[in-house]
Amino acid sequence: MSGRVAGKVAIVTGAASGIGRASAMMLAREGAKVVVTDLAEPTGQATVDAITAEGGEAVFLHQDVTDEKRWKEIVSETLNRFGRLDILHNNAGVQKSKTVEEATLADWHFHMRANALGMFLGTREAIGAMKKNGAAGGSIINTVSTYGIVGEEFNAPYCASKGAARNFTKAAALHCGKAGYNIRVNAVHPGAVVTPLAEQELFDTLVLTGSDDADALWDDWRDEHPIGRLGQPDDIAYGVLYLASDEASFVTGADLVIDGGYLAQ
């Protein structure tokens, strides 16, 4: 199969929906074999079915990304089935919009575990597997957020977890580079993208602000993006594809911001 990531093997977490599904499908379209993981089983399998329908190769594995033992199983199952691991897209994430005053310690841990701890475990286990590729190395792509770079009042624990994810990405990139691994680690920072997670954020924000006008809030969000529209999952998937491919072989520890100009202001 030809393509920009032909012959590579990828794991995409949180690939049952949204950005993760688009990324898994994009990588498969460009020649990668993809391990689709998610907590959501029927929709995760649906991603695999969509890839297969397009002539690609993929398998679904159920995964809680905060479970260390499960990460080891996922990587070892990937190696058993496909023989190697070249790409990890740490994409699984959660978001429950709460201000610092409203957030409970449980809310805090919920975000830090799913968005930061999961990424740490995935990155560490992937490095272990990618080291076996020798000079071919690997590419780890972490879905962070514009809210990992700037703050937003309704998302205190989310912002914290994404800030952790962003700077952890750089630390891991420096380690891999200095260790001579040729394993690149980069962050992608989406602005508001139309996904089930964003719909949840919209709902939470309406509750927090005591509003019931969802259309007005979508319009507000759109207007915060100078480009005049919200993102689509494929906008992010194309950036992931670039970072996953050997085209980006001199890119590591970098922030790929795909946000319609949100942060440039």
Partner 1 sequence: MSDRVSGKVAIVTGAASGIGRMSAIRLAQEGANLAITDLNVIDGQSAVQEIVDAGGEAIFVEHDVTNEDRWKAVIAAVLERFGRLDVIVNCAGISISHSVEDTPLDEWNQIMSVNADSVFLGTKYAIEAMKRNDPVGGSIINISSAYGIIGEALNAAYCASKGAVMNFTKSAALHCGKSGYNIRVNSVHPGVVRTPMTEVEINELVELKGYDSVEEALEKEWAPTHPIGRIGDPIDVANGIVYLASDESSFMTGAELVIDGGMVAQ
Q: At what angle do helices 196-209 and 214-223 cross, to 10 degrees?
A: 110
Among 173, 198, 205, 221, the residue binding partner 1 under the rule CB under 8 A is 173
Nearest approach, Cβ of residue 21 and partner 1 (Å): 17
- Whose CA is closest to 244, among 90, 121, 89? 89
CA atoms within 13 A on the CB side of 44: 20
Q: Mask of contacts with partner 1, 201-230, x by CB under 8 A?
A: ------------------------xxxxx-
CB nearer to partner 1: pick between 102 and 219: 219
Residues 185-204 that bind partner 1 (CB under 8 A): 191
Among 10, 88, 129, 256, the residue binding partner 1 under the rule CB under 8 A is 256
Question: How far is residue 262's CA from residue 159's CA, in Å, rounded to a whole number?
Answer: 16
Among 8, 129, 170, 198, the residue binding partner 1 under the rule CB under 8 A is 170
Q: Does 231 bind partner 1 (CB under 8 A)?
A: yes
Q: Does 258 bind partner 1 (CB under 8 A)?
A: yes
Nearest approach, Cβ of residue 186 and partner 1 (Å): 9
Contact status, residue 43 vs residue 17, Cβ threshold 8 Å: yes
Q: Does 46 bind partner 1 (CB under 8 A)?
A: no
Q: Does 30 bind partner 1 (CB under 8 A)?
A: no
Among 102, 177, 210, 218, the residue binding partner 1 under the rule CB under 8 A is 177
Residue 63, sorted as left (phi over 0), alpha (psi -120 to 50) or beta, turns out to be beta
Among 184, 198, 205, 221, the residue binding partner 1 under the rule CB under 8 A is 184
Nearest approach, Cβ of residue 181 and partner 1 (Å): 9
263 three-state secondary structure: helix
Nearest approach, Cβ of residue 137 and partner 1 (Å): 10
- Whose CA is closest to 90, among 40, 41, 33, 24? 24
Is 238 a residue of the active site?
Answer: no
Considering CB under 8 A, how many residues would be counted as binding partner 1?
Answer: 40
Residue-wise burial string across 177-210, b where 16 or more C-beta atoms lie within 10 A, e elsewhere: eeeebbbbbbbbbbbbbbbebbeebbebbbeeee
CB nearer to partner 1: pick between 114 and 257: 257
Question: How far is residue 159's CA from residue 145's CA, in Å, rounded to a whole number?
Answer: 8
Query: Count of CB atoms within 10 A of residue 89's CB?
Result: 31
Q: Does 138 bind partner 1 (CB under 8 A)?
A: no
Question: How far is residue 214's CA from residue 136's CA, in Å, rounded to a whole number?
Answer: 48
Q: Which is the catalytic residue, given 147, 158, 181, 262?
A: 158
- Helix (H), strand (E) at residue 160: helix 156-178
Contacting positions for partner 1 (CB under 8 A): 170, 173-174, 177-178, 180, 182, 184, 191, 225-229, 231-232, 235-236, 238-239, 241-242, 247-261, 263-265
Catalytic residues: 158
